[in-house]
Amino acid sequence: MSWRIRRSCCSLCRWRDWSPKRPVHRQLYDIAQLPQTLYFVQILWARYPFDLINSASGRGADAVREHEEILQAFALGDASAAMLAMRKHIESGWTVLKSLSESALAE
């Protein structure tokens, strides 16, 4: 992992450096200099039901902890830990979203 990415991730780990207008997801893609991937992900996010998943009790706090875990792994240069933390974050969100969707359909 390049020193530039590690330095940027270390900066992101400090909450005061996070901008509410630039969520952690976008910042990670900017740091990695992957504009095509960012464009693709922005299309996916446009269709993502944030209103539904954000209505889940405790999901916000869980997501914050998951983001911290990802950024700490990046800052330490631990690619394996970053990959596992990212997978955990995606699976956690999917589990919550799936549960909420199933509950809504059952009503």
Query: Which residues, at least 6 apart from 24, have a Cβ–Cβ distance to it below 8 Å?
Result: 12, 18, 67, 70, 71
Distances (CA, A) of 27 to 23, 71, 100: 6, 11, 28
Number of DSSP helices (H) and strands (E) in the chain, helices first: 6, 0
Residues of the chain where predicted confidence (pLDDT) is lower than 50: 1, 14-21
Three-class secondary structure of residue 62 per DSSP: helix
In this prediction, residue 16 carries a pLDDT of 41
* pLDDT for the residue numbered 91: 94
Report d(CA 39, CA 45) in Å as an integer. Answer: 10
Per-residue pLDDT at 15: 43
pTM score? 0.69
